Structure 1
Amino acid sequence: MAQILIVDDDHQLRQSFERLLAAEGHAVRTASSGEAGIAAVREAVPDAVVMDVRMSGISGLEAYAAMREIEPRLPVIIMTAFGTTEIAIEATKMGAYDYILKPFDIPEILKLLDKAVAAGRSMRSRVAVGVEGEDAAAADAIIGRSPSMQELYKAIGRAAPTDATVLVRGESGTGKELVARAVYQHSLRADKPFLVINCVAIPETLLESELFGYEKGAFTGATGRKVGKIEQANRGTVFLDEIGDMPMSIQAKLLRLLQEQNVERLGGRQVIPVDVRIIAATNRDLEEAVRQGQFREDLYYRLKVVTMTLPPLRERPGDIPLLVRYFLSRYAREMGQADPGATDGAMAMLTAASWPGNVRELGNTLKKALIFSRGGPLSPDEVTKALGVPLRSTASPDGDGGESMADCIRRELASGREGLFEELMDRFGHLVIRQALEATGGNRSQAARLLGLSRPTLIAKIEKYGLRIEAQARIEG
């Protein structure tokens, strides 16, 4: 549930919004003027604001400027008629989250609101770094005492106060966005916008216009000017997630941004100066992508001014009990339950697992276990049921107990966990490469030829899946 403020002098529109958003489970407040909207924000900052441009009294633009003084990270969606789009565009250039034309499509405004709420919360929700206990359980947190995590904390502390570009590396589910948010929140730009762009989630045909904006007539359907996210985040921070999958054509424009601190909208000739800090993240082997011509080498070096690497969970098993206690405490609090803790057997089972989905998989498993727990400390049986298939330990990567691959996939699909595709690809990728190494007696060159991979790609995957020790053991044996 989100707290939404509607600011419009049209009584009927406010009522319609109240009914619509209440039906979606949101708490709604309304204000009939820009002045009343400012007072409402000053009284209690909402998760998002939807505000008209033209109202009696001060305009929506003036009201937004005042709201920004109260809370610079408040996402505001501007409503406008076609004739006042230039004012809405000006508000977007000032940092408003987006604008929408009247009359608007209901699914469109609901989707935009969901994104705005998520963006606002990611800016304002603190990320606890290296903190444990009650303080950590009350917030998003980066947890761990291992040497690799201690080095990560030092890197965040050193890089955050600078304007250096940061590249966050790590497997899927290790917590790269949390690191990006921690860098932002400890930076000198922490009171400015923080915008997240997933380079995979947005289709290639839309990603360029999303990042850099466009002018009227730039392409079919471009009926007006659109300010891009880079320009919108001026003086703030942009987090480019999954940058390793960014198309080459857009990489060139990003390189220009990093070199010259300016952008051009699609279909435009005006060079627009911008002041943004870029934090990027990837789970890809960028060095291999450069060698294969899939990623620009000059951009790679521009991005890795500061590199922070998140270790996979299997490389820091000593941190798993800390994470288990954190997730159980946090989710129990969210569900209004007492923290049940975990039995020694359950904790041993959780610590022994390889967790191909890393911290995300561990958290999702514990949340599901809490939902279906019987009230006492989590048992090994409850953990196994929450995962959906028997836990695969680091000592026995297959862990299929004779179950067919199709049965395993069907069982996993029934679990409904987030990030399931990446998790299954990791799990079966681990199995395929392990079998190839066994078939070749641990010879990596032969295994690479068998799989149709280059040797560097195979080595990267061996390191990703933690197979190096197992392959070496077979060579020596």
Structure 2
Amino acid sequence: MSKLVLVVDDERSVQEALRDILEDSGYRVECASNGLEGLELIDRLDPDAVLLDIKMPEMNGIRALEIINQRGRNVPVIIMTAYGSTETTIEAMKLGAFDYLMKPLKVNEVLDALGKAVEVREMIRRFRHNQSDCQGDINENMMIGLSPAMQSIYKTIGRVANSNATVLIRGESGTGKELVARAIHFNSVRKDRNFVKINCASIPENLLESELFGHEKGAFTGAVAAKQGKFEIAHKGTIFLDEIGEMSAGTQAKILRVLQEREFERVGGTETIQVDVRIVAATNKDLERSIEEGTFREDLYYRINVVDIMLPPLRERKQDIPALVEHIIKNTSLEHGKTITGFSREAIDLLEAYDWPGNIRELKNICERAVLMSSGPLLTVEDLPLGLRKSSRRIDWLGELQGDSLKEIVAEVEREVILKALEDNNWNRSATAQALKMNRSSLYAKMKELGIID
């Protein structure tokens, strides 16, 4: 079926001209004369893209775009105006506009912008369809957002998914690197085979090789039976190597061999095992710097970095926060049998003002906590953690003690101190643990306890 475009413009001549152009190009077209009418048609028709005028009676395009964002409607919106200004452009892009066109419109520019917009829309729909068919919690954690940075990522995934190229996903902790890896796998020809993930930082070095490549019976103390490794399990599928920058030099050499020769031996074994597996890796480290420091192999870096995807931190895509919040609350409410309508406008403003050092993972934990602790259908500022309610990172004790138990206050202080230390050390847990004078396992346990990580 041809794609549906909604034209929202108060000038009948513009509506008719765009209808003729777009229908001649194979689109279906619906029109609205103001922002209110346009919002109603978006909810009812779920168009593939929207051409939205800025200056209209009753409700202008900027306000309509803001409401589209608040409602979490993942539809690409292309702004049109004859009254362009730098301020208007910035405001529209901050609110998540897909593109910005000046009147009088040029046919080739309109068709080019629409072509890109419906491509992104189709990519998002395909992600959601495939993710809803997958096992596990992917549907609860699907990729959300139409910010320019996310649009670029969707396009990259669409281009590389069906290839066998290795992919390196970079980004701060909590930005959703695993979701990108899953999207690549479940949009590829390997989608019916295994997607196997392994966190290279969470497994002790002396056990990581066995986890990756398996072992034979008696290979080491405790190896009472032969065991398949992750690479064997992922045969014909995809293996996701999270935090690959934490691998030892010896393990890096074995990974390089798998990439080059597509073969390996189990620990303690002599039989060479052939494997057909796609590797997707992720890291929050600066691997170029690690190469300079001699802790990461340059040849492995070039092998895993055929396609490089950089995930933006949440603070650089704040226009996606309303949609992310709506999605998280909907799933959490359903899971716990609650009826939550969402956050108040004041709470959303506070969420958008926060810098999110823990990124989407932190947002998810805060939203889930708010749903669990809520006593009414609308979440308010008071449902947010103590630390987030501050206008700065420093806690004003005298103004905030009332209503919070000592245990809650201490937990918030610990959380703030750990988040600050993680930021200062680029989320490197080993360096953070050293800075806080605690061991790495204790830091990991405390981060889980405080909801910094899942």
Q: In structure 2, the residue corresponding to 1:226 is in which secondary structure? A: coil
Measured against aligned partners, the alpha-carbon deviations of 1:393-430 in whole angstroms (never above 9, x if no partner) come to 5xx4x333369xxx9x97577479xxx98x85442354
Question: Counterpart of 1:192?
Answer: 193
Measured against aligned partners, the alpha-carbon deviations of 1:71-124 in whole angstroms (never above 9, x if no partner) come to xxxxxxxxxxxxxxxxxxxxxxxxxxxxxxxxxxxxxxxxxxxxxxxxxxxxxx
Change (3 A) 1:410 1:151: farther
Question: Counterpart of 1:208?
Answer: 209
Change (3 A) 1:268 1:137: closer
Question: Counterpart of 1:240?
Answer: 241
- Is the Cα–Cα contact under 8 Å of residues 130 and 144 in structure 1 kept in the other structure? no
Which of residues 387, 399, 413 in structure 1 aligns to 2:394?
A: 399
- The one-letter amino acid of 1:128's match is R
Q: In structure 2, the residue corresponding to 1:227 is in which secondary structure? A: coil
Q: CA deviation at 1:137?
A: 11
Q: CA deviation at 1:264?
A: 1.2
Question: Counterpart of 1:308?
Answer: 309
RMSD value, Cα: 3.2
Question: Counterpart of 2:387?
Answer: 389
Question: Counterpart of 2:169?
Answer: 168
Instruction: Give ranges in structure 1 of 5+ residues lacking alignment.
Output: 1-125, 434-451, 453-477
Question: What are the within-5 Å matches in structure 2 for residues 388-427 of structure 1?
Answer: 388-391=386-389, 396=392, 398-401=393-396, 411=408, 414=411, 425-427=418-420
Alignment of 1:428 with 2:421, yes or no, is yes
Q: CA deviation at 1:275?
A: 0.4
- Is the Cα–Cα contact under 8 Å of residues 164 and 306 in structure 1 kept in the other structure? yes
Change (3 A) 1:430 1:163: closer
Matched positions, count = 292
Which shows bigger deviation, 260-269 or 247-256? Answer: 260-269
Q: CA deviation at 1:337?
A: 2.2
Q: CA deviation at 1:198?
A: 1.0
Question: Counterpart of 1:110?
Answer: none
How far apart, CA to CA, are the structure 2 residues paired with 1:214 and 1:130?
A: 34
- Is the Cα–Cα contact under 8 Å of residues 130 and 142 in structure 1 kept in the other structure? no
Question: What are the within-5 Å matches in structure 2 for residues 76-115 of structure 1?
Answer: none
Question: Counterpart of 1:252?
Answer: 253
How far apart, CA to CA, are the structure 2 residues paired with 1:389 and 1:320?
A: 18
Question: Counterpart of 2:226?
Answer: 225
Question: Counterpart of 1:128?
Answer: 128
Question: Counterpart of 2:356?
Answer: 355
Question: Counterpart of 1:69?
Answer: none
Question: Counterpart of 1:269?
Answer: 270
Q: CA deviation at 1:297?
A: 0.8
How far apart, CA to CA, are the structure 2 residues paired with 1:137 and 1:275?
A: 24
How far apart, CA to CA, are the structure 2 residues paired with 1:377 and 1:130?
A: 32
How far apart, CA to CA, are the structure 1 residues paired with 2:146 and 2:296?
A: 34
How far apart, CA to CA, are the structure 2 residues paired with 1:169 and 1:141?
A: 18
Q: CA deviation at 1:257?
A: 0.3
Change (3 A) 1:200 1:137: closer
TM-score, normalized by length of structure 1?
Answer: 0.56
How far apart, CA to CA, are the structure 2 residues paired with 1:130 and 1:353?
A: 32
Q: CA deviation at 1:142?
A: 0.9
- The one-letter amino acid of 2:395's match is D
Q: CA deviation at 1:156?
A: 1.0
- The one-letter amino acid of 1:428's match is A
- Is the Cα–Cα contact under 8 Å of residues 200 and 245 in structure 1 kept in the other structure? yes
- The one-letter amino acid of 2:285's match is R
Question: Counterpart of 2:105?
Answer: none
Question: Counterpart of 2:339?
Answer: 338
Structure having greater relative contact order (Cα 8 Å, sep ≥ 6): 2
Question: Counterpart of 1:280?
Answer: 281
Measured against aligned partners, the alpha-carbon deviations of 1:181-234 in whole angstroms (never above 9, x if no partner) come to 111111111111111111112111111011111223332333443222212221
- The one-letter amino acid of 1:317's match is K
- Is the Cα–Cα contact under 8 Å of residues 389 and 412 in structure 1 kept in the other structure? no
How far apart, CA to CA, are the structure 1 residues paired with 2:289 and 2:269?
A: 35
- Is the Cα–Cα contact under 8 Å of residues 194 and 238 in structure 2 kept in the other structure? yes
Change (3 A) 1:138 1:205: closer
Question: What are the within-5 Å matches in structure 2 for residues 31-180 of structure 1?
Answer: 128=128, 139-180=140-181
- Is the Cα–Cα contact under 8 Å of residues 340 and 377 in structure 2 kept in the other structure? no
How far apart, CA to CA, are the structure 2 residues paired with 1:245 and 1:366?
A: 30
Question: Counterpart of 1:46?
Answer: none
TM-score, normalized by length of structure 2?
Answer: 0.59
Percent of pairs with identical residues: 49
